[in-house]
Chain A
Amino acid sequence: MIFSIAWKNVWRNKLRSLIIILSITLGLLGGIFYLAFSNGMVQQQINGTIQTVISNIQLHNPEYLINNEIIYTIKNPEEKVKTIRQTEGVRAVASKLVSRAMASSAITGTGIVINGIDPIDERETTDLYSKIVEGSYFESDLKNPAVIGKKLAEKLKIKINSKLVVTIQNSSGDIAYGAFRVVGIYKTDNTSYDQMYVFTQKKDLSRLIAVDENTANEISILLKHNDLTKQVTDKLKNIFSEEIDSETLTIRSWDEIQPILKMLNEMTIQFTMIFVIIILVALSFGIINTMLMAVMERVREIGMLMAIGMNKIKVFSMILLETVFLSITGGVIGLALSYIAVEITGNTGIDLSIVAEGLNAWGYSAFIYPELDVIYYFMIGGLVVTTALFASILPARKALKFNPAEAVRHDV
């Protein structure tokens, strides 16, 4: 009975109900969209860094991480790659030869990190090949091909087919010079990466520094899903525990390699949560206001209901129910609209290219694709309905305090 009265009441004053429904819808849309926006921005950055630069997990010789010297290699890299490939959750594995070096052109010279890779394996682990803006990703007949970043090309004033002279320390500690041909130029969202990282074929780099072609000082692993990181890291630590104990191997996950990523993630979550709370406060106040008015406006009507025998609990629940109906209606519409908005912008992206230079420097992309797990919709939806319920307590209590005799005589 109460249900049907409450439901009818909701539709009696259409304007009032519409205002509450709309404000809930707007609150939801705002909160969820913002959450999706900032979540998209951070996830994009994390995924971008994982896919293009660091992969999910990396293996090194611990000495290498301190000294960055090419002599600190990983034992039996081929065997390890094979074992890791067979581990569940692993999508692709690549072993690399990485060293600091100097790159020079006729104009100037600069410090670089030179990566000796197997282009086929590397294509499966990182998506750098998709960031080529000029030339190709090692699809060239030239001898000693190299792929460099756009920023480095600009700094050295070199182009496709230009020579890149590399000065490097070889395995016996002597300085070696190598000439590479630029066959591809890439551009990522991270300009300092573009200036530092040069890619060459492992067989060419290993010849230059006089080591066996199978030598590696980095193995990077791309997983089927980032959520598997901890599980696979633990599993690998178990498999290679002997070498880890003897300090000839170390296994690190992306958040250990780039802790700043994790911090940005945490910071964004906190900031967004505070914002969602602010929105909820604003929303609840709107609801309190409107419902309070709805109650005050209906003093005579409520007085009448009480006079004809409706008890206080029923009056209280009636008003509460009205709010619940309103907020559920608003909630459903709001969630639906938010979902549509997030899906649409999530596909088209939001262009922030006016400030893209700054975004790029921090490893963000200029296009933001909002994304949000379904669980958050329910969470925010639940929060809004709860807020609406709490907001309706005050007006409902107000109604309880009416004296039927006076209320009936009340003139608006």
Chain B
Amino acid sequence: MNDLIKIAWRNIWRNKRRTLLTMASIFLAAFLSLFTRSMQIGSYANMIDNAVKLSTGYIQVHDLGYWDNSSIDKTFINSDELLNLVQNNKYVTSVLPRLESFALTSSGKNTKGALVIATDPAIEDSINRLSKKIIDGDYITRTDDEILVAEKLAEFLHVGVGDTLVLLGQGYHGITAAAQYRIKGIFHYPIPQMNSQLVYMNLNTGQDFYAAYSRVTSYSIMINDPEELDNIAADISDKIGDEYEVMTWEELNEEMVQAIQSDNIGGIIMLGILYIVIAFGVFGTVMMMTMERRKEFAIMVAVGMQKTKLFAIVFIETLMIGAVAIIISIITSLPLLTYLHKNPIPLEGELKEAMLQFGMDPIWPFSVDASIFTNQTITIIFIAILAILYPLSKILKLDILKSMRS
């Protein structure tokens, strides 16, 4: 075996041009598939991140049964102790306590149903940059007793900054919730349905309004490593016990999961097509290499080398070249992809406008997730082996006399 490796190693250096060409073809295959997959995964991650920030957060904690029957009665006490338990996970970056419920908003003769979100303004802002969405007036602070109203809702009610808005709903255990608040700011929410029904207020204000003192309907949890999602959720669930339900965004937003999965199908088809094209590139290169070396192989067999041994030598040769090519492609693509991960390609034109309108970052981000590198490396090795098997099998069927004369 050692001998075979030695011979293979010498062969590699004997004809540098041939080695380089083979290496280049495998390098390109690996590089392009890494690039494509990184781009795909990056754009999904970005899609998820955008959507999660605008809606549920990565993980939510509720009172058990809230998800099936989201009533204001299914709330839990927002204690420091509980908050600490949830925060005490290295992946958790922020925990947002929210009290959400429906209420009727009314001004003058106009009334309309609204979704009232009572929240911590600072944490809310750090997650979905709500303060940047203010189009008139100012953002609320932790001590404010004023509210923020979504653009289309304000338009419908004919109210503006400084006006008072009446909120009317049902509080904790059926208590009447009725109050009027001054409007501090109007915001544009990127999701159209939400833009016509959202009202934001301070958590304390909301708890007073709904008579749900120190209570919240949910903790929205942001994390820094979406790959660890399930582990983090399980860990939090273990710590806080079964009086609560802990749900990931995948459970909270099944339609989005399916939408991403179906989009991923397009991505996989795309990747599959790319694999076929690059596999063929490798196949072509190796095929011609083998044909070129027919004479050489014939001589070796003539002087007594077994065909199977010869096959093994050439196979090892190609594997070595392939390994080097893949390593080089990782070394070269890593800095490029890291750069594109940190400095995503900005989008231009109509697409940029459209994405901004929906509150998405108009960027084309790349992912440097470790799994991309392992998966693509394995796939490319597999493809390379498949692509070289046929050309190399020609060795086993070598006709010495014919080949010597070629």
Contact = CB atoms under 8 A, between A and B. Distances in A.
A binds B: yes
B215 to A, nearest CB: 26
A278 B274 contact: yes
Nearest to A258: B192
Interface in B273-299: 273-274, 276-278, 280-281, 283-285, 287-289, 291-292, 295
A377 interface: no
A211 interface: no
B280 A22 contact: yes
Interface in A236-290: 259-260, 262-263, 266-267, 270-271, 274-275, 278-279, 281-283, 285-286, 289-290
A283 B347 CA distance: 26
Given A66-B152, A358-B256, 11 more contacts: A19-B287, A23-B284, A34-B270, A260-B354, A262-B350, A267-B355, A282-B28, A289-B24, A293-B289, A357-B255, A358-B259
Nearest to B27: A285
A297 interface: yes
A309 to B, nearest CB: 28
Interface of B: 17, 21, 24-25, 28-29, 32, 35-36, 39, 43, 110, 152, 155-156, 254-262, 265-266, 269-270, 273-274, 276-278, 280-281, 283-285, 287-289, 291-292, 295, 347, 350-351, 354-355, 357-358
A134 to B, nearest CB: 24
Given A275-B36, A358-B259, A285 B25 contact: yes
A292 interface: yes
A15 B266 contact: no
Interface stretch (A114-122, A220-228, A359-367): A359-367
Chain A's interface: helix, strand, loop or mixed, by majority? helix
Interface in A283-330: 283, 285-286, 289-290, 292-293, 296-297
A26 interface: yes
B258 A352 contact: no
B158 to A, nearest CB: 9
Interface of A: 15-16, 19-20, 22-23, 26-27, 30-31, 33-34, 37-38, 41, 66-67, 191, 259-260, 262-263, 266-267, 270-271, 274-275, 278-279, 281-283, 285-286, 289-290, 292-293, 296-297, 352, 355, 357-359, 361-362, 364, 412
A358 B277 contact: no
A66 B21 contact: no
Nearest to B352: A266
Contacts of A66: 152, 155-156
18 contacts: A16-B288, A22-B280, A34-B273, A66-B155, A270-B347, A279-B273, A279-B274, A279-B277, A282-B277, A282-B278, A285-B281, A289-B284, A290-B285, A290-B288, A296-B17, A297-B288, A352-B265, A355-B258
